[in-house]
């Protein structure tokens, strides 16, 4: 058994050295047991699929493409090294194999133009959650933004430091051309952490203004049940914007639930989104743009679990009150939701999972309805208050 594991890991390393990353990912997936490692592989695979798509569309330069591919290779090797298996000592002692592998990597670098020097220190890519300053007109002696720091602290406490890097980054203007592309290039493309969420906004209590703009970088929502070469990936808006009261704890909980939806923890995300609705003592859900954003992510979570009926109900909320970009996104995702449901219904191994998912979704709805009835307001009235026609 140990020898077979050794051969598999040797095969994965050689595939990575030959830049056959799709094959390497498939074999590595079959060898992972820990859910955290499986989640990490999903993130890496999303980055690889996104890079391939950019190459096809011609939306990435050769230099940036090579840098990103090298980072993905490093992430795969780091994940492989982190696996708990009894052959790790053997692997480390086999110097000859590593010398050969090192030579293969250098040859691959020469053939494919991969720059090893620019990312030689990048062996453990994480998802970067970066938060820009919010406060307008800060006093000169104030060097840190208290709201951005509060949001970073709240999120950092909720996310694993093994997979996430959460930190404030100082001021960042929105007054630049192609803002989302500029953010990706400035904060992600040239660094080890090439995927994540960039949170920016404006908080001016004197003028009673609080706006938020979020950029999603190299993250895609993918069904764990179909994470193969024909993966069903939901369309993703480039930016999310809304304006709500400045409650760092509430926003942190929302962004963590959003991150879980990308991480593949769709049911956990659904429960967290419902908790946000239940704990909405400040009337966040009455804000149309925020309610539409939450409905967008709830719909995606339902869709990825095969429940296209509930997904479409959430997408309809987005159509009523969402931004043009969100509306365009849910039009695409509605088709994907039907395709996921169709595949699960036609797959004997997935039929039971689909029915179980639908039952748990029904229970979530009942729990939400029970909560609102306990305080004298039905769910239907809540949504009517938010989405008046």
Torsion of CA 7, 8, 9, 15, to 10 degrees: 110
Average pLDDT on 5-34 reads 81
Mean pLDDT of the chain: 78
Confidence band for 198, pLDDT divided at 50, 70 and 90: very high
Residue 243's pLDDT band (cuts 50, 70, 90): low
* Amino acid 4: pLDDT: 59
25 close to 76: Cβ distance less than 8 angstroms: yes
Query: Do the Cβ atoms of 330 and 318 come closer than 8 Å?
Result: yes
**pTM for the model:** 0.67
Digit-coded pLDDT (tens) for 315-354: 999 999 888 888 888 888 999 899 999 999 998 888 999 9
List all residues 6 or more positions away from 177 whose beta carbon is below 8 Å from its beta carbon. none
Q: How confident is the model at residue 128 (pLDDT cuts 50, 70, 90)?
A: very high
Given this model, what pLDDT does residue 202 score?
Answer: 86
pLDDT band at residue 235 using 50, 70 and 90 as cut-offs: low
Q: How confident is the model at residue 377 (pLDDT cuts 50, 70, 90)?
A: low
Residue 299: band (very low, low, confident or very high) from pLDDT cuts 50, 70, 90:
very high
């Amino acid at each position: 058994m140990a020898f077979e594991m050794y051969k598999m890991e040797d095969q994965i390393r050689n595939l990575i050295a030959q830049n056959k990353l799709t094959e390497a990912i498939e074999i590595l997936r079959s060898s992972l047991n820990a859910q955290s490692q499986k989640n990490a592989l999903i993130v890496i695979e999303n980055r690889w699929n996104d890079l391939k798509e950019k190459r096809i569309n011609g939306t990435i330069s050769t230099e940036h493409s090579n840098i990103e591919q090298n980072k993905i290779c490093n992430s795969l090797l780091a994940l492989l090294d982190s696996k708990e298996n009894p052959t790790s000592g053997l692997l480390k002692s086999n110097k000859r194999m590593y010398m050969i592998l090192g030579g293969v990597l250098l040859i691959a670098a020469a053939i494919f133009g991969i720059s090893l020097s620019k990312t030689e220190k990048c062996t453990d890519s994480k998802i970067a959650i970066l938060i820009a300053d919010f406060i307008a007109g800060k006093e000169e002696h104030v060097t840190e933004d208290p709201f951005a720091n509060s949001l970073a602290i709240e999120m950092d406490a909720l996310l694993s430091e093994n997979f996430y890097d959460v930190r404030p980054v100082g001021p960042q203007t929105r007054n630049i051309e192609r803002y989302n592309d500029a953010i990706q290039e400035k904060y992600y493309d040239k660094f080890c952490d090439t995927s994540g969420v960039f949170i920016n906004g404006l908080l001016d209590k004197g003028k009673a203004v609080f706006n938020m703009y979020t950029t999603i970088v190299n993250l895609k929502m993918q069904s764990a049940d179909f994470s193969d070469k024909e993966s069903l990936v939901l369309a993703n808006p480039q930016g999310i914007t809304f304006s709500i009261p400045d409650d760092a704890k509430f926003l942190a909980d929302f962004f963590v639930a959003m991150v879980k939806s990308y991480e593949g923890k769709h049911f956990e995300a659904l429960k967290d989104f419902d908790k946000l609705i239940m704990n909405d003592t400040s009337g966040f859900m009455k804000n149309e743009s925020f309610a539409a954003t939450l409905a967008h992510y709830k719909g995606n979570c339902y869709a990825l679990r095969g429940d296209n009926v509930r997904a479409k109900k959430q997408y309809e909320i987005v159509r009523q009150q969402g931004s043009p970009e969100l509306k365009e996104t849910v039009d695409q995702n509605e088709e994907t939701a039907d395709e996921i449901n169709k595949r699960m219904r036609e797959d004997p191994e997935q039929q039971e999972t689909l029915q179980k998912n639908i039952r748990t979704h029904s229970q979530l709805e009942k729990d939400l309805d029970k909560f609102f009835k306990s305080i004298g307001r039905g769910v239907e009235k809540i949504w009517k208050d938010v989405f008046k026609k």
